[in-house]
Structures are given as C-alpha cells and as structure tokens.
A and B are shown apart, each in its own frame.
Chain A
Amino acid sequence: MNARSLGAIVGIAELQSVRRTQGATTLQYIAQAVLRAVEDAGLNKDAIDGLLVGPQVGETPQHVPATVAEYLGIEPRMSNVVDLGGASGAGMVWRAAAAIEAGMCETVVCVLANVREDPAPRSPNRNPIREFDVPFGASGANLSYALPMQRHMAEFGSTPEQFARIASIERQNAQLNPDSIFYGQPASVAEVLASPMIASPLHLFEIVMPVAGGCALVVTSAARARSLRHAPVHLLGAGEKITHRAISQMPELTSGPLKPAMHQALARAGLAAHDMSLLSLYDCYTIMVALTLEDAGLCDRGQFGRWMDDHRFGHDGDFPLNPHGGQLGCGQADLAGGMAHIVEAVRQLRHAAGARQIPNAQTALVTGNGATVSEATALVLGADT
C-alpha cells in the first residue's frame, strides 16, 4: 500500500432489521448498536471520545449529540450531527478520520439507527427531558442556569451583586457598539438587581434577550488566506467536550465541560488564559461567565467575584471581556449569538474594531456553550504576525 492511511475502521455492528418496532425508542436502538460495535472492536466505553450521530427525525429536535452521549453515559471531546441522508454513514467515516487527524479525539463511534413505531408516537419529542424534566414544571433554559447559580452561591458564598456586575459590565461595553440592542441603555448593578426575578437567583437583566439576526464565517487554509484582502486570523487551538444533556445529569454544578475544552485549546496553542488579549466568552447568563472565568483558571474556584473586583473588563482594561457587549448587551440571535463572539474576536484581531479596539490585540479565547452547560467548544485565535 503506497497511500498513507487516513484512519481505520476497527469495530462494526448491525442490528437485526424488523418491519415494525413496538415500544422502542431511537435512543435505545442507537445505544444497542454502539454497545455492539465497541464490543466488536474489543474496546470499552472509556475508549470512546468522539461521537457522530444522524439527525433524529422528530424525536430530539435539538442537542442530538448531547442527548445521545448522556444516554450512553459518555463524555466525548468531539461530536456532530451528520445530516447527509444516505451519504451520512460515509460522511461520518472521513469526518471521524479528520477529527482524529486534527488531534481533537482518538476513537470515534459513528452511529445511525431508527425505529418504526405503529402508530407513530403522539408527541414527536422523545428526548428524556420531555419525560423527566418538563412534567415537573421545568421548561425552558432559565431554570437550567438558575440551578448552578444557586449552587455556586450556597457552595462559595458568591453574591447577587457579584453576578449582577457581569451584566452591568457587558451593558457598559455595549455602549461602544452602536449595533447592540442595549446601545444607549447601560445598567448599573442596582438596576440589574432591581429587574424582575425570573427564576431565582436569576434576574431579567442577567438573561439574554432573544433577537433575530445571523452570522457567518469563511475558513480557508493559512496559505490561501495570505492572498486575500484581510489580515488572516489564525486558529491556534481548539477543544471540545460534552458531559450531559439535562441539568440534573451535570456531573458538577459549579464546573462545566468548558474546563477541559479550554484546557485543550490553550494547550494546543501553547498559551494560557491570562495571556489572552481578549476574552470573548459565551454569556447566555451571568452565571455562565462566572463559571467560565473560574474554569479557565483565571481565578480560584468560587472566587470570580473577588477576582473581578481587582480587574477591569472594558476594551481598555487589563482583561477585555466581550467588548462588543456580548449577548447580554447585544441580545441573542439564537445560534448566531454564539458565533457573534467569534466575529468580534476576528474584528479585534484584525485591528478593525473602531472605538472599542483593544490596543495591540494578539490573541483571543473564544468560548461556545450549548444546552444546559452541556456542550462546550473553545477556540484560541491569533492575529497574523
């Protein structure tokens, strides 16, 4: 063989096909296939650190990899839905190889499975959350962030004022971003605390406002990038981790999957969080920023509040944090809200951020977070030098 192997398939499974299933769920079928394939490979569950799944028509509308990973009881470092119809299986194989080649993970399980229930389930959403969270009066994301926040306060004595300060800082930063939804509307710590209580201890101003919007990025090779019109912004490191789907299944309420994801991204880049010119941190709620500062190792566990007292977070501060205002200042355009943290990092590293330009910005830590502190991706970006 002359060609270099791009990867190898080491385990297989095929479930017995049936015309109809009775009382089965797609998750159950997926788990069965995965257990067989991993057994065939002579591996155990701990060896699996990558997960590629197909879309689950109707049953789990969003957060499919996290739902499957939680069901299996694994915590992958790379995961994706591959949605290519009949080509999904083949598509998974090279994506798995590419992810391994990129150093994101070592052993990927690729799985596609379906049931055929008759009649079809009366509610299409069969995510376990629909059975074990929603019926208790626990719909929506607010609660899922209120719970880690309450735990943080009980465990470390953090205060409502310390959390409110995060919202206040981001609102202040948004005052240099005329495109932000809260432009012209700064909010003091007192005003954040005076906003209505939604799900204790979360106040309205500590929760992103839903807005319409969109973001896009173009990624190419470093070589190609040099011939294009803007100074390239380089990906220096990436890390990813999923630990659960439902908030009840979060392994530790006050430390999330961003901890290993950021560690991996920073190690790959050979940099530390405190070296970053910019912290472009996912901020759906104030607690998310607090956990991220701690998980990044910028301060000790439970100490974000005291640490923040000693630093400044504007574009001209010693730790610029979401200088565009973040999602707490700009609103959250659904999934694009997270991508806006990347767009701002690129602006800053191109030195094209105008009035809010961070002087001599060289590196940025960007974080993304999904579901209930479940899905984490961290990027380290660098200016062209």
Chain B
Amino acid sequence: MNDLFNTLKVPGPIPTALSEPFWTALRRGAFVLQHCDACGKTIFYPRAHCPHCWSERIAWRAASGRGTVKSFSTIHRPGHFAWTPVAPYVIALVELEEGPTMLSQLLVDDPADARVGLSVTMRPVDIGQYTLPFFAPSANPPEATP
C-alpha cells in the first residue's frame, strides 16, 4: 500500500446523518450497504428511499466487499492538486456483488495490472481522518462463469 496515503491533505467525505452508518462501519473495517426490504435490491449511495421502487423500508446490511472492475483509468494529472504526490494512481468503477456500482481507487503495484473484469475485494484505507473503501485484486478470485 502507498505509504504516502496517510500524508495526503485531500478533501474527505462529508457524511450526512443518512450516510453516517456507511462511514462508521468502515472505521472498524466493515462494509455495509443499504437494502430495500420491499424490492430486495441493494442501494448505493445511501438514501432514505429506494431509487428502484420508491419504498422507504430500508435497512443497513453487511456486504461481501467483493466486486468486479467495470472500468478504470490511470490518473496521471489529478483533477485535485492534493492528489499529485501519489499519481499515477488508478480509479476504478467496481460493480459490487450485491448489484450497485461504486467508484473507488484500485490498489495495484503497477497500473498496468489494472484490467476490466478483474475480481477485487474491499480494503479499508485511512486517508486523513476518514477510512475509505478502496479495492485490491482478490487473493482467490471466484471462478469465472462462462
């Protein structure tokens, strides 16, 4: 993992009362997502209603932390200057096992190791006062389904 991460002075998340459980769980290394009790779908990012069916019966549930890289980009010129010390780094769209897609950073030794379809697992990384859910290639990726 990049030793420079904990020295970065980058804009952290600004949790809302609604999203706080997501960030609180990460502080103890856990990954939780909202689940809709009406339609059964998983919700990301947190909301007070289900964007799929508009039910308001929402509950937090532990998530697997596993996903697949849907796409990625190696950032050579960060959009925010404070990220420059760790460039180039890899941003990825991760399709979570539970359904939703989230944006995150992909922890790879060499950006050339990034590829679409890579199996990844959530790895909490401390940046400033927050713990962020980054992703790393899975040690034992599930068998590819044809």
Contacts and interface: CB of A to CB of B under 8 A. Distances in A.
Contacts of B101: 248-249
A139 B117 contact: no
B60 interface: no
A251 to B, nearest CB: 10
Contact of A131 (B15, B17, B51): B15
Contacts of A248: 93, 101-103
A140 interface: yes
A136 B104 contact: yes
A299 B45 CA distance: 35
A135 B79 contact: no
Given A31-B49, A154-B116, A247-B93, A138 B15 contact: no
B127 interface: yes
Contacts, number: 141
Nearest to A147: B71
B142 interface: no
Contacts of A134: 11, 80
Interface string A129-159: 0111111111111110011101100110000
| Chain A interface size range | 35 or more
Interface in B43-79: 45, 47-54, 56, 70-79
Interface residues of B, number: 49
A128 interface: yes
A133 B12 CA distance: 10
Contact of A138 (B48, B53, B91): B91
A71 B83 CA distance: 28
A210 interface: no
B105 A151 contact: no
A28 to B, nearest CB: 5
A182 B14 CA distance: 41
Interface stretch (A19-27, A347-355, A363-371): A19-27
B34 to A, nearest CB: 13
A160 B18 CA distance: 42
Contact of A146 (B73, B78, B105, B111): B73
B76 A198 contact: yes
B31 interface: no
Contacts of A24: 17
A150 B79 contact: no
A132 B45 contact: yes
A128 B77 CA distance: 23
Contact of A136 (B54, B76, B91, B115): B91
B13 interface: yes
Contacts of B48: 28, 31-32
Contacts of A38: 54
A197 interface: yes
Contacts of B19: 131
A135 B18 contact: no
A200 interface: yes
Nearest to B103: A248
Given A22-B17, A135-B12, A199 B76 contact: yes
A147 B92 CA distance: 8
Contact of A126 (B14, B80, B93): B14
A248 B10 CA distance: 21
A130 B76 CA distance: 21
B60 to A, nearest CB: 16
Nearest to B43: A73
Interface string A6-36: 0000000000000000111100100110010
A154 B71 contact: yes
A140 B14 contact: no
Contact of B16 (A23, A139, A148, A247): A23
B42 to A, nearest CB: 13
Given A45-B54, A147-B73, A150-B72, 4 more contacts: A136-B91, A137-B89, A199-B75, A200-B111
27 contacts: A23-B16, A28-B18, A31-B48, A32-B49, A73-B50, A130-B11, A133-B103, A134-B80, A135-B13, A136-B103, A136-B134, A137-B78, A137-B80, A137-B86, A137-B105, A138-B79, A142-B79, A147-B71, A147-B73, A150-B73, A151-B70, A151-B71, A154-B115, A197-B76, A198-B76, A200-B74, A202-B73
Interface of B: 10-19, 45, 47-54, 56, 70-80, 83, 86, 89, 91, 93, 101-105, 111, 115-117, 127, 130, 132, 134
Interface of A: 22-25, 28, 31-32, 35, 38, 44-45, 70-73, 121-123, 126, 128, 130-143, 146-148, 150-151, 154-155, 196-202, 246-249, 253
